[in-house]
Structure 1
């Protein structure tokens, strides 16, 4: 199993990483790789279990770091971008892009990896779990086909799969597991069992979500006019981000009763109205902090927060870093 990374902007420098076939190992193996080159500094903590590899990254890069990437094996990964931003754009139009922003995650399968990998933000913290098809099938044994739904079908047909078309915010339950994995200090044999249990916990959570969403798709199909009503409600939220309507006001403006509004909105946008409002506020705030000469307090007010501290708390929860840190990092990027 071989991965090639070619850095076109740095005289075509090339990195080749090799792994054992099937990620096989008889016991837990660990190593910390420290890197200090002109465009990349930090460390990567690699933990190898039988059939699965855990990569814990904590690095500073010279953005944007762009490389051509190619794997000579099918790629299955659960990716948590704790801080930073990761983009993979395939050369093959039949494949799919994978874009994961800071504070987001995704779970995907790519039969072929050949394309462009881009890191546009200076600081990256990530947890990546790379595994084989045999490993995940071993976890669920005879129940794999039943619980794997669309993911299992994609594996069988060898077609690209991403759990979410747009990567989602890391939920609190998974954040706790991530911290457990990163901060695990058990001795060798105990650590192996502990980490394997945590990976199984993550898979259990993801496959439960897959099944639940499949049930929702089968049980509820919105009529055309119902879908249009929700799109109208979303537009009203987006256009009034600084002073958004209440649920009651939104119900009257969009012509939907409150219960249907809340239920159908979550079906279309995959999160409750208030959570969605917070997400688009944070995305707008991030863009303003990078592109405009505004203070954190001014940005907070512009996206609807009267109290800058409440805004800072929400921003930190969304992206796992403070808005003031984003301004500092962007200033450093401009100076590089």
Structure 2
């Protein structure tokens, strides 16, 4: 397994990235910071299946091989295939955070030929050499997908154990994404109609992530992003398949799990830091989520 960290400086700004290569699979995470709004090309001649996760930031891009253009806001994902690609990207915010996975074509087909119907059709198109996107409707990065992405980015394992971990998490992302597209396509007409409202719901998600330790209430969130509470609750549930409170609870508990693994903070300290009323309340919520107590995580990492 290889890990390659890079810091690049260009006329557009800077990009910090890390790329993991294992078992023919390549996963990568990058944060780009721009001086200005601009456009720039991207290309590759590799014959692979690409998972794309836009974690933060807004941008549009044209995809030559698909003859399509997409206008995207932070918190989206899709799976695509073409033999090589040529794109032109237009950033609409000064910071973009991207995560991607590249599966060898044969390996991806092996994993998906017996999967659900959309993945089977996608695999058949790949075998026929067609340039194709798994879903016309881009999926949203909900809490389960976000948690797996963070687990990969902050993985503390090394060597063969890390390779096994990354492989298992890559397959988990495939399953979660397929489930997400199936749910999105099964939904009737979307509640959120305008791109502006969708951007505001993404801003709600970002606000919660930034304030997990001291979360705002619904009224404060609604005022901050400029949505009424009804549209906020309906739009958030539609986008992330969870309530605002449910999403906050997920983020708190995942952060607690990370603290227990990676720091020496006690369970009591973590419960206080994350805003739980009592350590017992934290202990009960943690056990309900993970099936084990915080104490067992600390003693069996």
Please state which band the TM-score falls in when normalised by the shorter chain. 0.5 to 0.7
Matched, 1:103 2:75: yes
Q: Indicate conservation of the 8 Å contact 1:100/1:106, yes or no.
A: no
List aligned pairs for 1:237-316, cutoff 5 A: 266-269=187-190, 273=191, 276=192, 281-283=197-199, 300=224, 302-305=226-229
Picking from 137, 151, 164, the partner of 2:109 is 137
Match for residue 257 of structure 2?
A: none
In the alignment, what sits opposite 1:71? 44
Residue among 126, 151, 159 paired with 2:122: 151
Residues 1:112 and 1:76: Cα distance change in structure 2 (over 3 Å):
same
Q: Contact 2:114/2:120 (CA < 8 Å) preserved in 1?
A: no
Determine the C-alpha separation between the residues in 1 that align with 2:151 and 2:222.
Answer: 37
Checking the alignment, whether the CA contact within 8 Å between 2:28 and 2:99 is kept in structure 1 is: yes
1:205 lines up with 2:176 in the alignment: yes
What count of residue pairs does the alignment treat as equivalent?
Answer: 220
- TM value normalised by structure 2: 0.60
Change in 2 beyond 3 A, CA 1:209/1:39: closer
How far, CA to CA, are the matches of 2:73 and 2:67 in structure 1? 20
Counterpart secondary structure, 1:186: coil
Which whole-Å CA distance do the structure 2 matches of 1:51 and 1:154 have between them? 21
Closer/same/farther in 2, CA of residues 173 and 278 from structure 1, 3 Å limit: farther
Which residue of structure 1 aligns with residue 94 of structure 2? Answer: 122
Contact 1:32 1:45 in 2 (8 A): yes
Note the alpha carbon deviations across 1:224-252, whole angstroms, 9 max, x for none.
xxxxxxxxxxxxxxxxxxxxxxxxxxxxx
CA 1:148–1:202 in 2, change beyond 3 Å: closer, same or farther?
A: same
Distance (Å, rounded) in 1 between the aligned partners of 2:181 and 2:221: 40
Q: 1:207 to 1:37 in 2, by over 3 A?
A: closer
Q: Give distance in 2, aligned partners of 1:213 and 1:285.
A: 16
**Does the residue aligned with 2:189 lie in a helix, a strand or coil?**
helix
Distance in 2 (CA, whole Å) between partners of 1:75 and 1:165 is 19
Structure 2 gap ranges (5+): 204-219, 236-242, 248-301
Cα shift at 1:172: 1.2
SS at match of 1:281: helix
Partner of 1:320: none
- After superposition, residues 3-14 of structure 1 pair within 5 angstroms as none
Q: If you compute each CA radius of gyration, which structure gives the higher value, 1 or 2?
A: 1
Q: Which residue number in structure 1 is paired with residue 54 of structure 2? A: 81
Partners of 2:34 and 2:48 in 1: how far apart? 24
Deviations 1:3-45 (A, max 9, x none): xxxxxxxxxxxxxxxxxxxxxxxxx100110123442224101
Instruction: Quote the residue 2:32 is aligned against.
Output: 59
**Structure 1: any 5+ residue segments left out of the alignment?**
1-27, 217-265, 288-295, 318-336
SS at match of 2:130: coil
Q: C-alpha separation between the residues in 2 aligned to 1:152 and 1:165?
A: 16
Which residue does 1:195 correspond to in 2?
Answer: 166
TM-score, structure 1 as length reference: 0.55
The CA RMSD over aligned residues, in Å, is 3.8
